[in-house]
A and B are shown apart, each in its own frame.
Chain A
Amino acid sequence: MRRALWLLVFLGLRARYRRLLRGLRTVRGVLLILIGVGFFALIALGPALTAGMAPRPEIPQENLPLQRFGPVGLLAFCLLSVFGSSKYRGVYFSPAEVDFLFPAPFSRRELIAYRLVTILFHVALGALFLAAFLFRYIGGYWQAVAGLFLAFGFINLLQIAVSLVTGTLEEKVVSRGRLFAAGVLAIVAASVFLGSSAAVREGRLLHEILRDWLGSPAFGWALLPLKTFSEMLAAPDLQRFLAWGAGALLVDLALVLVVLRLDVDYSEASLETSRRVHARIDAMKRGGRILASSRKLRLSLPLPPRWGGAGSLAWRQAQEMVRDMPGTFYLVLALAVGVVLPLFLSGEVGDVRAGRLLQTFTVVTVMLPLLLSNWFRFDFRGDHDRMEILRGLPLSAATVSLGQLLVPTLILTALQMLGFAALGFLGGQDPDEARGLESIVRYGPYLSLPFNLLFVALENLFFLLFPRRLVATTPGDLQNLGRLTLLTLMKFAVLGVAGIAAFLGAEGAHYLSGGSPAAAVAGAAGILLLADSAAVALVAWGFTRFDASHVPAD
């Protein structure tokens, strides 16, 4: 790689940390960094500092979940990563890199080498940071750093290699290549289906078949390259760490070699990818959706009643949400697969109705607004660059606020209702396991809507009071971590107060009604509705004082 490209790598890295240092020039910046450092120390270094007082969790020599499920998990992650970026062919270069590097006298290989170096630098920074959180559960800090670096490096390298190979195939055999890939997939799917059907007819459960298949020697050999990473991370002694580490390093080096040897003319594909990614980042900076899908559905929803203008605003947001439906669908699918599949395969649960699955499902259902709220920014948070239009509407601030908050509140409530319904069904299948969930399933739906409205209102209020454009941050950006920690603490403090008030309301109603559970729920819901009114009023106030011309841009 030429000196100029090394210089760019160095300047880029220096620039990122110069930005962090700039944050130290203000008192606010220093405070945020201190909070970030405090949070980091609490979560990451706290257990290490108290290691002398509390015994370290014992790491068994064999059969760690990491060893058992690591390769499959990594495979799933790689597949998701590759398929998720399938529409982005070539290698991604930022628009500035395209403008400066593509017309410059660099060879394609030099540019690929530059890309690899920058990616690996970021992976290294990420590994250094992430290892601080994970090393207690793995073996040691540097073992975690090395393992994470090689594993994340592998994922990135694989993505680039697949993208370049796909580009080459597409160039040479556009339709035949796709047909071939589809044919192979169809044969694999048919074999799995036929094998599974035969086994199911023999009376075996599907998850047992799947587990056996995943535990078969053939699959084990196929996953050997991926196994090197999990074994390296889980290695209980230096000897095994070095042996598996060497294997993992070889796998990564082989991929580097493939990427450099391919010498595909990726420039055109990279230009297109750069344009698409830049457009998406731009849309996100303007407050657009994280899930924005390129395949927009052209469905039109009927216009609801006007409701003083709030209905029209909600309709506009709902329309955008429907158009982004593919992205929403993928998110829900990923969440379902991510939560259910590992438990389904873990072997520690007997079947779908087992307790752990039910518990996890319950936690996910209750926490759904917290988990998904950021993905459904069909409110003020997604309207950064449309605030002036909203401000110019002949509607009261309260009406605008209500119209803006309706869609995410309703979608989160609908998803939560689905979760409650599923819990009711699963609990009905096995009443023993469902014990304790009864009250959640029975009364949760009544509190869902007022709670979600409160939560969405708070998210919007904090956005309006402390606006920030959504940007990617550097690993170790403690100022940003501090900001996020502070905002989260503030939100949860308000939610906590509302929760205590609702609890007291429920207790009061329960007492006054002579022990009626329905009255208790009504009491809690009533308090939450009062909190909703106050929150919407505060959002309206935040909206009127929002200065669209002064949103900090990172």
Chain B
Amino acid sequence: MDNTADGAPAILVSDLQKTYRDTVAVRGLSFRVERGEILALIGPNGAGKTTTLRTIAGIIPPTRGTISVAGRDLASDPSGAKRLLAYVPDDPHLFDSLTVSEHLRFTASIYSVPDWRARADELLERFELSAKRDALGSELSRGMRQKLASACALLHLPLALLLDEPMTGLDPRGIRTMNQAILDCAAGGAAVIISSHLLALVERLSTRVLVLHHGRELLQGGLQEIRGRFPELAGDASLEEVFFRATESAPGPAANAAVSGVPEGQTP
């Protein structure tokens, strides 16, 4: 986590736009996430959350705009930027025929993690996968796949962690473990972006919130700050109340002309 440009934000997104043929999934999005910050990306289905995360992860190229990770531009130095990133998709797919420990071995090899076995053991222990280290990817339940994908993501101590719906499929203990892992990661100096529909949970975790609606930024800031945009709400209004007030009063897709959301996890 040390090989970063001095003073550069961990994640910097400027004027990001992503278009799928005639559909604009994300339009003119700009934000930054500093080290130690947890940014919650929230919005209704089709708001552009997954597209935003996938673009930052370098999985799909942006149509316009720039993304940099600790000063490394994702377009001109993709390998350098990706080396500092980790991304956990909303429905992680594993290699069916590889065992749990082989997934970690492979991930360690990708990021050249020194002394990876000790770190892998620690993560397996943390995510309660120790007993499953010889199980095949195809033998794991949805929740266990989520845990293994998260363990793989945390193995190389990323500077920027991108999590798309990380709590899906987890049991209460798994959710608690995941929360703690996210908090520890941020405390260790990583920037975290988390996309989730579990607003109460996100409210507890995040330091800042970015509300997306039809591919556009609707609100951005700390919870207190965005709460202040709606004086009619009580001072201790929950994120859920703020979210509904913001999205209900926002212009609909018709007002956004060509802007229209894409179902999460899909390209049109």
A residues within 8 Å of B by Cβ?
Answer: 3-4, 7-8, 11-12, 15-16, 18-19, 94-100, 102-107, 265, 267-268, 271-272, 275, 278, 553
A105 to B111, CA, bound (A): 8
A272 to B79, CA, bound (A): 22
Contact yes or no, B96 A96, CB < 8 A: yes
Given A4-B106, A105-B110, are A553 and B138 also a contact pair (CB < 8 Å)?
Answer: yes
Given A103-B82, A553-B138, are A12 and B60 also a contact pair (CB < 8 Å)?
Answer: no
- The 7 A-B pairs with the shortest beta carbon distances in the complex, nearest first, are A15-B97, A95-B93, A4-B109, A105-B79, A105-B82, A103-B87, A103-B57
Contacts of A96 in B (CB 8 A): 93-96, 137
Given A18-B97, A105-B82, A105-B111, are A99 and B102 also a contact pair (CB < 8 Å)?
Answer: no
Contact yes or no, A106 B79, CB < 8 A: yes
CB-nearest residue of chain B to A265? B61
Contact yes or no, B109 A99, CB < 8 A: no
Contacts of A98 in B (CB 8 A): 59, 93
Given A7-B109, A103-B86, A107-B79, are A19 and B92 also a contact pair (CB < 8 Å)?
Answer: no
A7 to B267, CA, bound (A): 31
A/B interface sample: 24 pairs, CB < 8 A: A4-B106, A7-B106, A8-B106, A11-B98, A12-B95, A15-B95, A15-B98, A15-B136, A94-B93, A96-B96, A98-B59, A98-B93, A99-B92, A99-B93, A100-B106, A100-B107, A102-B58, A103-B85, A103-B86, A104-B111, A105-B82, A105-B83, A106-B110, A267-B60
A275 to B85, CA, bound (A): 23
User: Is B188 located at the chain interface by the 8 A CB criterion?
Assistant: no
Q: How far is the CB of B83 from chain A (nearest CB, A)?
A: 4
User: Is B71 located at the chain interface by the 8 A CB criterion?
Assistant: no
Contact yes or no, A275 B149, CB < 8 A: no
Contact yes or no, A7 B105, CB < 8 A: yes
Q: How far is the CB of B267 from chain A (nearest CB, A)?
A: 5
A201 to B266, CA, bound (A): 56
CB-nearest residue of chain A to B268? A272
Contacts of B267 in A (CB 8 A): 268, 271-272, 275
Quick one: CB contact mask for B68-111 with A, threshold 8 Å, 1 for yes? 00000000001110110111010011111110001001110111
Contact yes or no, A268 B93, CB < 8 A: no
Q: How far is the CB of B118 from chain A (nearest CB, A)?
A: 19
Q: How far is the CB of A406 from chain B (nearest CB, A)?
A: 35
Q: How far is the CB of A76 from chain B (nearest CB, A)?
A: 33
A3 to B111, CA, bound (A): 11
Interface of A is mostly: helix
CB-nearest residue of chain B to A13? B97
Given A7-B106, A11-B98, are A103 and B59 also a contact pair (CB < 8 Å)?
Answer: yes
Identify the interface centre among A15, A104, A278: most chain B CB within 10 Å of its CB: A104
Contacts of A18 in B (CB 8 A): 97
Contacts of A8 in B (CB 8 A): 106
Contact yes or no, A267 B61, CB < 8 A: yes
B residues within 8 Å of A by Cβ?
Answer: 57-61, 78-80, 82-83, 85-87, 89, 92-98, 102, 105-107, 109-111, 136-138, 149, 152, 266-267
- The one of B82, B89, B136 that contacts A99, using a Cβ cutoff of 8 Å: B89
Contacts of A15 in B (CB 8 A): 95, 97-98, 102, 136
- The one of A3, A12, A107, A275 that contacts B97, using a Cβ cutoff of 8 Å: A12
CB-nearest residue of chain B to A97? B95
Identify the interface centre among A100, A272, A553: most chain B CB within 10 Å of its CB: A100
Q: How far is the CB of A169 from chain B (nearest CB, A)?
A: 16
CB-nearest residue of chain A to B93? A95
Q: How far is the CB of B48 from chain A (nearest CB, A)?
A: 15
Contacts of A267 in B (CB 8 A): 59-61
Q: How far is the CB of B167 from chain A (nearest CB, A)?
A: 18
Contact yes or no, A107 B78, CB < 8 A: yes
Identify the interface centre among A18, A98, A105, A265: most chain B CB within 10 Å of its CB: A105
Contacts of A268 in B (CB 8 A): 60-61, 267
CB-nearest residue of chain A to B59? A102
A15 to B87, CA, bound (A): 25
A99 to B50, CA, bound (A): 13
Contacts of B59 in A (CB 8 A): 98, 102-103, 267, 271
A194 to B14, CA, bound (A): 59
Contacts of B105 in A (CB 8 A): 7, 11
CB-nearest residue of chain A to B99? A15
CB-nearest residue of chain A to B112? A4
Q: How far is the CB of B95 from chain A (nearest CB, A)?
A: 5
Given A267-B60, A271-B60, A271-B267, are A104 and B110 also a contact pair (CB < 8 Å)?
Answer: yes
Identify the interface centre among B61, B79, B97, B98: most chain A CB within 10 Å of its CB: B97
CB-nearest residue of chain B to A106? B79
- The one of A4, A12, A265 that contacts B110, using a Cβ cutoff of 8 Å: A4
A105 to B97, CA, bound (A): 23
A12 to B87, CA, bound (A): 22
Q: How far is the CB of A128 from chain B (nearest CB, A)?
A: 20
CB-nearest residue of chain A to B265? A275
Contacts of B87 in A (CB 8 A): 103
Contacts of B86 in A (CB 8 A): 103
Q: How far is the CB of A102 from chain B (nearest CB, A)?
A: 4
Contacts of B98 in A (CB 8 A): 11-12, 15
A104 to B112, CA, bound (A): 12
Q: Given contacts A103-B85, A104-B111, A105-B80, list 6 more A-B pairs with CB under 8 A.
A: A12-B95, A98-B59, A100-B106, A100-B152, A105-B79, A106-B110
A272 to B109, CA, bound (A): 27
A7 to B109, CA, bound (A): 8
Given A96-B95, A105-B83, A275-B266, are A11 and B102 also a contact pair (CB < 8 Å)?
Answer: yes
Contacts of B94 in A (CB 8 A): 96, 99
Contacts of A100 in B (CB 8 A): 95, 106-107, 110, 152
Contacts of A103 in B (CB 8 A): 57-59, 82, 85-87
Contacts of B79 in A (CB 8 A): 105-107
CB-nearest residue of chain A to B110? A4
